[in-house]
Structure 1
Amino acid sequence: MKSFSDKIIWITGASSGIGKALAIELSNQNVKLILSSRKKEDLELVKKQCKDLRAVKIIPLDLEDYTNLQPKVAEAIAAFGKIDVLVNNGGISQRSFVKATAIAVDKRIMDINYLGTVALTKAVLPHFIKNKKGHFVVTTSIVGKIGTPLRSSYAASKHALHGFFDSLRAESYQDNIAVTLVCPGFVNTNISKNALTGDGTPQDKLDLATGNGIQPEYFAKLMVIAIKKKKEEVYIAGAKEKLGVYAKRFYPKLLSTMIRKLSVT
């Protein structure tokens, strides 16, 4: 995909952070956008920052309500006649020890990050198969490759996405359907402020590492390049996070020792 011109791209989690930055970046490339999240008012603000307001459709949805996403897909297809790319970017993070996390919190994270994403993907898949083309883009995480303290269920949900979409990629190749897994490291967004604690309430503070992370606007530029090239998997992160991925592959015991020494504050 050398150019996005006239492509219809649907982005979930588009009201803030990476999704917002991606929407604005793509709007400068003559695409038609469908923007979704739970927060309609925030989506309206993102739309106002896009290049062509007529080329942006807002469809509020809640990934946690994953049994009722089919009507949203029908609405999205009707908006511009088709969907070319679905960017599964919506999700929620976590900041709590395993021993202090209620099972209801584990379930909620899996419902949103994994089942919500999978349900939406399955609802769009027949449309891609019918058109004999399509592209699923998934925002996972470096912790989708490496589990770290305070993120057990978040890491589990992101690991699960890798397993699902690797399988889907293999199954859908003959239908000309691509899958790109985008693994962010620390990005300067509100993800840590909104992260769930052990009792399900938001952490409501910005982690130091997150605050010092990649700016979302720059991240979006790199993400667009990866989508255009139809990369299978890409790590958009700092040097230490990238090193962790390769250490996990070649020196797993060393990485385990390093992770145990990480700050958990």
Structure 2
Amino acid sequence: MTFKNKVVWITGASSGIGKGLVEHLSKIDCKLIISARNKAKLENIKQTCKTPENVAVIPFDLAEIDNMKTVVENAINCFGKIDVLINNGGISQRSLIVNTDISVDKKLMDVDYLGTVALSKALLPHFIKNQKGQFVVVTSLMGKFSSPYRSGYCGAKHALHGFFDALRMEHEKDNIKVTIICPGFVNTNIAKNALIGDGSLQNSQDQATENGLTVQQFCSRMIKAIEKEKFEAYIGKKEILGVYLKRFFPKLLHRFVMKSAVR
């Protein structure tokens, strides 16, 4: 797959990985649709692109799942088609289970899981009609194994793997691809914007997050994985070893995580 002449829709495009993807892809001969809740931020990002006329802004909230069909119609109308949807929008969490109100778990599922699923299901008929398309889903290494302080986040990310693995199987006949991207630590504001037990923001950076890959490094690797149409890609530093420890030595992974200072 090549991004040239494609229409690519990116959610969570106002900051972090999403903003980095816009910066990378805007230098390629493709058209972009960028989405997040904050329209003003999206418009500012659009103006920094090489060809702003090839960038469309569609603001919406992933938690409002009943609006997805309208959101998809508006997106398709921007350039007449969509070739790739990069499901990047979402929120994280930093709180112990015993201290986390169930409303926080619900919000994580509503945004990270149900919002992404609802948007993808609304776009799916368009891909089927065109007999092509690619769903890219940004989950996390926490979608492959878990860590303390992230119970609701891990649950939502694990759920995305289950759903999109099934979608890939059901629609292989329609030439629809699914690439699941599992980031490790990336130096973004994800930790600062993570929810704590009462639903408010953590408002502080994790050392592990700060020491992670730069957004530029991560996006470069992610774009290559999408172009190769990989089923899954684990992108990070030594933390990606956790995927293989979980598969073959789960008790050993448990001990490593319990000894780590990661929060």
Q: Does 1:249 align with 2:259?
A: no
- For 1:65-101, what per-residue CA distance to the aligned partner results, in whole angstroms no more than 9, with x for missing partners? 1111111100000000000000000000000000000
Q: What does residue range 67-216 of structure 1 map to in structure 2 within 5 Å? A: 67-216=66-215
C-alpha distance in 1, partners of 2:252/2:4? 46
The 4+ residue runs of structure 1 with deviation greater than 3 A are: none
Measure, in 1, the Cα distance between the counterparts of 2:50 and 2:123.
26
Q: How much has 1:217 moved relative to structure 2? A: 1.2
- Measure the CA separation in 1 of the matches of 2:47 and 2:227: 25
Give CA deviations for 1:43-77 in whole Å, capped at 9, x if unaligned. 11211221110000000010011111111100000
| Post-superposition offset of 1:253 | 0.9
Distance 1:66-1:143 versus aligned 2 partners, 3 A rule:
same
Cα contact 1:128–1:177 (8 A) shared by 2 = yes
CA distance in 2 between counterparts of 1:172 and 1:185 reads 28
Is the contact made by 1:183 and 1:234 (CA closer than 8 Å) also made in structure 2?
Answer: yes
8 Å Cα contact 1:133-1:177 kept in structure 2? yes
Shift of 1:262: 2.3
Asked if 2 retains the 8 angstrom alpha-carbon contact of 1:137 and 1:181, the reply is yes
2:14 is aligned to 15
- Contact (CA 8 Å) 1:11, 1:87: kept in 2 or not? yes
Residues 102-146 of structure 1 show CA distances to partners (whole Å, capped at 9, x for unaligned) of 000000000000000000000000000000000000000000001
**Sequence identity, in percent?**
57
Q: Deviations over 1:126-183 (max 9, x none)?
A: 0000000000000000000011010000000000000000000000100000000000
The answer for the alignment partner of 2:218 in structure 1 is 219
Q: Matches of 2:56 and 2:235 in 1, distance apart?
A: 28
Q: Which SS does the other structure have where 2:5 is aligned?
A: coil
Partner SS state of residue 90, structure 1: coil
Please report the TM-score for the alignment, with normalisation by the length of structure 1.
0.98
State which drifts further: 45-54 or 169-178. 45-54
Say whether the 8 Å CA contact 1:150–1:264 is kept in structure 2.
no
Distance in 1, matches of 2:168 and 2:139, equals 15
- Classify the secondary structure of the residue corresponding to 2:128: helix
The answer to which of 119-128 and 41-50 deviates more is: 41-50
Query: Which runs of no fewer than 5 residues in structure 2 stay unpaired?
Result: none
d(CA) in 1 for partners of 2:48 and 2:141? 29
Contact 1:38–1:60 at 8 Å: present in 2 too? Answer: yes
- What's 2:35 paired with? 36
Residue 235 of structure 1 aligns to a residue whose secondary structure is strand
Paired residue total = 263
Q: Secondary structure at the match of 1:194?
A: coil
TM-score for the superposition, normalised by structure 2: 0.99
Is contact 2:208–2:262 with CA below 8 Å preserved after alignment? no
Contact 1:87–1:138 at 8 Å: present in 2 too?
A: yes
- Pair 130,250 (structure 1): closer, same or farther in 2 beyond 3 Å: same
Q: Where do 5+ consecutive residues of structure 1 fail to align?
A: none
Question: Where does residue 263 of structure 1 map in the other structure?
Answer: 261
